[in-house]
Structure 1
Amino acid sequence: MTTLNPQKLSVTYRQGVTALHPVICRKYTLTHSDETAELFLFVDHQFATDQIGPMRDEVFAEWLQKDGACMLYVYVFVGNENIDKSIQAIRYTIFKKEMPLALQAIRYGDQMFFKRYSPLDSAPIFVHFHSNDPNFHTIEYFGTPSMYA
């Protein structure tokens, strides 16, 4: 697993979201620069769609509540009918390989939030890989945030 370099992570809280509030409706958008290896984490009430690049390799995550329990639900775009299956296979493999780094960035970047709401460190993380191909359209369990601290 690639280890997070905190000096390469930039965190931006937007639209009234703070390091501690809110819990539900807290959304993360993680993007990166291929040239500098910098990571950019945006924490907001909505996904930072203005940060989506042409490669569509951003990671979206949000806190959801189901049956009274919180979970961190993550979304990545693997492909659609406009993206060849072989490219989708590569994207799926890369997303799976790099997901621990993305989760480290979210956990580290929002560490004050996790300290304040420590039970969320034990919440399950589910990653939804979006694709029109059923081989790559999956929802997978990725442990808990505490695994990425």
Structure 2
Amino acid sequence: MTELDPGKVNVRFVDDVVPTALSLPRRYTLTHSDRTGDRFLTIGRDYDLRQISGAYTRFMRDEVLAEWLDDHVPRLHVFLHVSGGVVFGNASLRLRIFRSCLRSVLQALRYGDDALFTAEPALDQGTAVVHYSSTKDRFNFQEETGPLTDYRLT
């Protein structure tokens, strides 16, 4: 997969979130346009429910939700909806798509919150826990990534 184009990432901070300070909760809502390839990232204290409430987004269920949790060290938890309810595509296909896009998803989150990583460099050594949510047991699991610094755009 090609590296993320930062010119296609639109970032918005809401809820008085300070770009340079990690205060919990800090949540990310990431969507994209299939037509333009643009990514839309909202960083706030809550998920941006308006951003994911459109009929198309609710049908596709390809949004990415993420948040920092204190697991004795700050760790980024990423939530992906593989199956359950009315969604486009079967679980196997959706899992393959999510996995093929995971690098660019983590790059978008890392890029969009670059001021935080600059102010808190230890966060770059942290990892992300990716939660794949499915009503089918074999597609319902989590896995940990390498350090977030691996997703910094060069």
The answer, yes or no, to whether TM exceeds 0.5 is: yes
Equivalent in the alignment of 2:124: 121
Unaligned runs of 5+ in 1: none
Task: Output the TM-score relative to the length of structure 2.
Answer: 0.90
Would the alpha carbon gap of residues 20 and 93 (structure 1) be closer, same or farther in structure 2, given more than 3 Å must change?
same
Q: Percent identity?
A: 35
Compute the displacement of 1:19 (Å).
Answer: 1.0
C-alpha RMSD of matched pairs (Å): 1.5
Equivalent in the alignment of 2:77: 73
User: Contact between 1:20 and 1:116, CA under 8 Å: does it hold in 2?
Assistant: yes
- Cα deviation 1:111-135 (Å, max 9, x = unaligned): 0100001001011211000000011
* Cα distance in 2, alignment partners of residues 104 and 82 from structure 1: 28
User: Contact between 2:67 and 2:76, CA under 8 Å: does it hold in 1?
Assistant: yes
Q: SS at the partner of 2:146?
A: coil
Compute the displacement of 1:142 (Å).
Answer: 1.5
Q: SS at the partner of 2:98?
A: helix
Task: Output the TM-score relative to the length of structure 1.
Answer: 0.93
Compute the displacement of 1:58 (Å).
Answer: 0.6
Aligned counterpart for 1:141 among listed residues 131, 140, 144: 144
Equivalent in the alignment of 2:65: 60
Q: SS at the partner of 2:110?
A: helix
User: Contact between 1:2 and 1:98, CA under 8 Å: does it hold in 2?
Assistant: no
Pairing 1:89–2:92 present: yes
Compute the displacement of 1:82 (Å).
Answer: 4.5
Moved over 3 A (4+): 81-84
* Cα distance in 1, alignment partners of residues 91 and 8 from structure 2: 28
| Corresponding pairs, count | 147
